[in-house]
């Protein structure tokens, strides 16, 4: 009995996320349904809004962990710059006129953050200049560079504890969210099982009270016959009638207990009004 809720946790979460209308789509077409304990648990989990919110909260916390880990993913950047500069001549040897200089710059940069908090980067760039100025040794002019850099903080932000701080926080939040989800699932399963078996107990108790009333009525009929033939005094009928009345009162109380147990289970299962279990 204690292992059943644990085995149902995985199925319960899947039911919340993936179970659509299914067997419950016919509910609006019927006024009476028969549920096993597992069916009741599935339905309670599927329609528990607090539990659904916890599922989405856990999924969000899991995504936060993946997002925090992306800080150690390598980054690849590409930049392009194109400029055109015009200016009048200020040198008398070149004479008057307007000199135009066009430049293009391409750069690709690959960077990787390391657990100690530092950053390693490798960049390659190509610089091109083209001008109409006179007396240029190379025109157009090309310049290519390859740069490697390593930056490591030595005091503040040094060490894996700082660099992995966001990951640790995200994991802790996910663990908390997962624990809350499991707790909510277990609590829901426990409440449904309790309500289910309380209803079963109430109905069985009603059957017992009905049998007791039948026995009291049989005893009343028997006593009346014995009084008619003189085997018992007439006053004995009062005790038997009191016992039968007591049994009728107990049936009224048992029927009320059944209705209360049914209403509690219906609320947990989110059943439509008028549906009988």
pLDDT, tens only, 67-110: 888 888 899 999 999 998 888 777 666 655 777 889 999 999 99
- Within this chain, do residues 55 and 112 fall inside the same structural domain, yes or no? no
What does the pLDDT read at residue 131?
82
- Within this chain, do residues 106 and 155 fall inside the same structural domain, yes or no? yes
Residue 44 lies in a domain: yes
The total of other beta-carbon atoms located within 10 Å of residue 253's CB is 12
**Structural domain span for residue 218:** 3-62+168-269
- Within this chain, do residues 202 and 185 fall inside the same structural domain, yes or no? yes
- Within this chain, do residues 118 and 172 fall inside the same structural domain, yes or no? no
**Domain end marker among 125, 160, 195:** 160
Residues with Cβ within 8 Å of 249's Cβ and at least 6 positions away in sequence, in order, are: none
- Within this chain, do residues 258 and 175 fall inside the same structural domain, yes or no? yes
User: Are 72 and 118 a contacting pair, CB within 8 Å?
Assistant: no
Q: What is the CA radius of gyration of the chain?
A: 42
What does the pLDDT read at residue 32?
67
pLDDT less than 70: residues of the chain: 1-32, 91-96, 273-274, 277
What does the pLDDT read at residue 133?
74
Residue 67 lies in a domain: no
- Within this chain, do residues 120 and 208 fall inside the same structural domain, yes or no? no
Full 3-state SS string of the chain:
CCHHHHHHHHHHHHHHHHCCCHHHHHHHHCCECCCCHHHHHHHHHHCCHHHHHHHHHHHHHHHHHHHHHHHHCCEEEEEEEEEEEEEECCCCCCCCCEEEEEEEEEEEEEEEECCCCCEEEEEEEEEEEEECCCCCCCCCEEEEEEEEEEECCCCCCCCHHHHCHHHHHHHHHHHHHHHHHHHHHHHHHHHHHHHHHHHHHHHHHHHHHHHHHHHHHHHHHHHHHHHHCCCCCCCHHHHHHHHHHHHHHHHHHHHHHHHHHHHHHHHHHCCCCCCEC
What does the pLDDT read at residue 92?
63
Whether the bond into 115 is cis, omega within 30 of 0: no
- Within this chain, do residues 136 and 82 fall inside the same structural domain, yes or no? yes
What does the pLDDT read at residue 31?
60
**Domain end marker among 107, 138, 160:** 160
Q: Which long-range contacts (CB under 8 A, 24 or more apart) does 123-127 make?
A: 123/147, 123/148, 123/149, 127/103
């Amino acid at each position: 009995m204690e292992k059943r809720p644990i085995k149902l946790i995985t199925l319960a979460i899947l039911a919340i996320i993936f179970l659509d209308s299914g067997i419950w789509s016919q509910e609006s077409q019927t006024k009476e349904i028969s549920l096993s304990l597992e069916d009741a648990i599935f339905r309670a989990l599927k329609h528990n809004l607090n539990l659904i919110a916890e599922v989405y909260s856990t999924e969000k916390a899991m995504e936060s962990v993946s997002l925090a880990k992306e800080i150690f993913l390598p980054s690849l950047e590409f930049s392009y710059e194109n400029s055109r500069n015009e200016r009048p001549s200020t040198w008398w040897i070149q004479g008057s006129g307007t000199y135009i200089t066009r430049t293009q710059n391409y750069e690709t940069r690959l960077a990787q953050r390391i657990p100690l908090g530092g950053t390693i980067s490798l960049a390659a760039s190509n610089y091109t200049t083209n001008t109409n100025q006179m007396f240029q040794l190379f025109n157009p002019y090309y310049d290519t560079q390859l740069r490697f850099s390593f930056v490591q903080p030595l005091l503040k932000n040094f060490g894996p504890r700082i660099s992995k701080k966001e990951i640790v926080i995200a994991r802790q939040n996910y663990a908390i969210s997962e624990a809350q989800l499991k707790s909510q699932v277990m609590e829901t399963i426990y409440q449904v099982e309790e309500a289910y078996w309380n209803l079963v107990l109430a109905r069985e108790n009603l059957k017992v009270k009905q049998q007791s009333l039948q026995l009291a009525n049989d005893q009343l009929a028997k006593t009346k016959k014995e009084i008619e033939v003189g085997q018992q005094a007439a006053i004995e009928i009062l005790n038997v009638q009191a016992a039968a009345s007591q049994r009728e009162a107990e049936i009224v109380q048992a029927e009320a207990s059944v209705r209360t147990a049914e209403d509690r289970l219906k609320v947990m299962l989110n059943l439509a009004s008028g549906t009988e279990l």
